[in-house]
Structure 1
């Protein structure tokens, strides 16, 4: 573990990852100074939507009191937080606790910004392995998830009933496509999703890509081509609108909220909006090509402990992390953030309190980190080529095979 001040970051870290996430907000501003010798410990988070009187900030302060210290909290926009964390590390001015979007963990870890859980003694034994993997690199773990969100299929029960579709019969791609055909013939619209040329587009395509059995290390495999062919086929047959090429997850949701669509691929963060939609809805985990639940990408943040020149601060930082991610606090925090808990005990408690979370719990159990499998800082380049391939195929510029072959060549 490198504890020298004024560390020199890796080249990969200096090219900061620009990853779009489900939650967006503006920076809250404020001081970014992370050092104090008056018993104050600093926490940086990506939740500027939470004000000083919010339950989140009260939790931070409560964990500080329990550890015998004061908390100085600064909130940033997600993308801005990564920049600030890298700059602070260069100046040996990192916060004591850093809560960061999970795909960025590998970038900060490779840069030498974060301590491992072996070093900081944070206990991750109860965290689901598939969720913890998003914060692992080269066999080491760099934090613990505070919660997870992912993707599934929302469906409009009235539209499906009118089309004579039994949701229980949808178990794989053929049965889903057959349902879309029935919906179209009934005069309604099939499915909407986001295929925009950004990380959001890759994020939404990944369940289908992984659900085919494809791997991100081989974009142009037969399985990957089948996934992109599924999407292009839906557009050609009118099961999905051409607007998906420019849709963000927000505009895609707005289409579904019109009440004309049978399905929408979207995330847990739309649950509150679903309750306001004005029609009866359900949620179905995204099916794999031949059945079962496809692996959807995990969203959500990791609680990490950055490297400090003063290693004596780690013991208190560990207490803060343990408090923030305790079973009781995870339940309350994940409910506030519309996250599914990363541990089975808390997740079961969530489902017991709200049965509508059951399909989301199933989806999270099958989910996969975008940087898992030691992709780490390779993922952003792969993702960029993937969304370009999706755009190229859906626009008709290239066949799915040619689009993914071009993407694979660019990654190499």
Structure 2
């Protein structure tokens, strides 16, 4: 994702039956040649912004050439891609390689669309375990991450310098809140984030929720309520604006870019925009309640191999996927996509090339997938009650305890 670029709201209602509409149809033609006969292999990805002249498409073409085949690539919007992948599987004409947002993997795996890495012999041994977990269901792995992004805190150095706050001292919730109070006392604004009632809001809430020690299977735990209380207290005390209720990550960033806020919770995808703000900025990890880096959710895609009637094609499919995820190609690919690499070796190269990525590598190493902990397709059924709950608390219609008690009841019923 850049989640940001891609949400999960539509996933809660996704099913193969939902695809049986004319709007799902598209050119899904593909070669029928076996691996030993070369031929054409299809790749579907969620990057419609890249055309044939882009480095991304050139890499796909090169990987095909190296494997002795021709690659036919199509880029789709993420939600559209998921729908088309389900329909293509039902019709028996899935693409050979499918690149999807990591929370979608469990949906497609549950629907029987994807092979496992055991089936295709794809080597995932070098991948960071916390990133690989987003593509694992019931002990099986359904693909390999092409990279990841996540969240951290951008800060306005001029504002913090004026109130004599050293960002390096912000290690937990108490020190962050104390910094926000100093900023407010100086007549500036504290922190902006996205608490909108969509998956974007849940994505931004999860570092605080997980940073409290809470688990998604128990939204109304004392820890979960503490995380929601942190947010509601910030609004109540004027440390965060009421606009967060409707903020997307983009509008939240625009507030920070105005130069009036000390902090913004946002992701790697804003790095280029940060350099255009006109003021000096820095980045620190999101702190957990008791100290240390909070686990933030991972965005980013998995490269997967859909099930094929002709199993003889898997050998070449594996070559294509191995090429796309190799250390040799990952550095350029993840730079293009504004992602942190999925392996330690390439992460080290990224930091060597761009020191600004150091904090993002640290954040990604602490991150976790939204569908991890074997939640799989249960996640969207928990996420929606969660965002409904924090919206109720932030708007003042319910206390944090009551809001998450109601959310837990809904989530528990939906995930039985």
TM-score normalised by the shorter chain: which range applies?
Answer: over 0.9
5 Å-filtered alignment, 1:116-155, equals: 116-155=116-155
Residue deviations 1:222-274 (CA, integer Å, cap 9, x gap): 00000000000000000000000000000000000000100000000000000
User: Which residue in 2 is equivalent to 1:67?
Assistant: 67
Matched ranges for 1:32-71 at <5 A: 32-37=28-33, 39-71=39-71
**Map of 1:204-353 to 2, 5 A cutoff?**
204-353=204-353
**Alignment of 1:31 onto 2:27:** yes
C-alpha separation in 1, matches of 2:164 and 2:307 = 58
Instruction: Decide whether the 8 Å contact of 2:14 with 2:83 is kept in 1.
Output: no
SS of equivalent residue, structure 1 residue 105: helix
Take 2:382 and 2:249, find their aligned partners in 1: how far apart are those partners?
Answer: 20
Match of residue 378 from structure 2: 378
**1:266 counterpart SS class:** strand
Structure 1 residues 165 and 406: alpha-carbon distance in aligned structure 2, compared to 1, 3 A threshold = same
Q: Is the 2:115–2:305 contact (alpha carbons within 8 Å) kept by the matching residues of 1? A: yes
Per-residue CA shift, 1:256-310, capped at 9, x if unaligned? 0000100000000000000111111111110000101000000000000000011
1:96 and 1:261 mapped to 2: Cα distance? 47
Deviation at 1:32, TM superposition (A): 2.6
Instruction: Quote how far apart the aligned CAs of 1:394 are.
Output: 0.2
1:287-344 deviations in Å (ceiling 9; x for gaps): 0001010000000000000000110110000000000001011000000111000000
- In the TM superposition, what is the alpha-carbon distance from 1:30 to its structure 2 partner? 6.7
Partner SS, residue 103 of structure 2:
helix
Q: Report the Cα distance in structure 2 between the residues aligned to 1:311 and 1:30, rounded to whole angstroms.
A: 24
- 2-structure distance, mates of 1:277, 1:132: 34
Do 1:13 and 1:108's aligned partners in 2 also have CA atoms closer than 8 Å?
no
Q: Give the Cα–Cα distance (whole angstroms) in 2 for the partners of residues 15 and 366 of structure 1.
A: 37
Structure 2: stretches of 5+ with no match in the other structure: 1-12
Instruction: Report what 2:407 is aligned to.
Output: 407
Cα distance in 2, alignment partners of residues 150 and 242 from structure 1: 24
Alpha-carbon contact 2:197-2:388 (below 8 Å) kept: yes
Shift of 1:146: 0.1
Structure 2 SS opposite 1:153? strand
- The C-alpha deviation readout for 1:1-47, integer Å capped at 9, x for no partner, is xxxxxxxxxx9743879xxxxxxxxx9x9733244447000000000
> Are the aligned partners of 1:109 and 1:142 in contact in 2 as well (CA < 8 Å)?
yes
- Secondary structure, aligned partner of 2:216: coil
Report the secondary structure of 2:123's partner residue: coil
For the Cα contact (< 8 Å) 1:35–1:95, is it kept in 2? Answer: no
Residue 195 of structure 2 corresponds to residue 195 of structure 1: yes
How far 1:170 sits from its partner (Å)?
0.6
TM-score (norm 1): 0.93
- Give structure 1 regions of 4+ aligned residues with deviation exceeding 3 angstroms: 11-17, 34-38
Shift of the alpha carbon at 1:362?
A: 0.3
- Asked if structure 2 preserves the Cα contact closer than 8 Å seen for 1:392 and 1:398, the reply is yes
Give the Cα separation in 1 of the matches to 2:185 and 2:217: 39
Assess if the C-alpha contact under 8 Å between 1:51 and 1:57 holds in 2. yes
* Counterpart in the other structure of 2:8: none
Q: CA deviation at 1:164?
A: 1.5
Instruction: Give the aligned partner of residue 164 of structure 1.
Output: 164
Match of 1:14 in 2: 16
Unaligned runs of 5+ in 1: 1-10, 18-26
Residue in structure 1 matched with residue 109 of structure 2 by the alignment = 109
Query: Match of 1:255, SS?
Result: helix
Q: Is the 8 A contact 1:198 1:384 kept in 2?
A: yes
Distance in 2 of aligned mates of 1:30 and 1:256: 41
- Compared CA separation, residues 279 and 16, structure 1 to 2 (3 A): farther
- 1:356 alignment counterpart: 356
CA contact (8 A) 2:16 2:90 kept: no
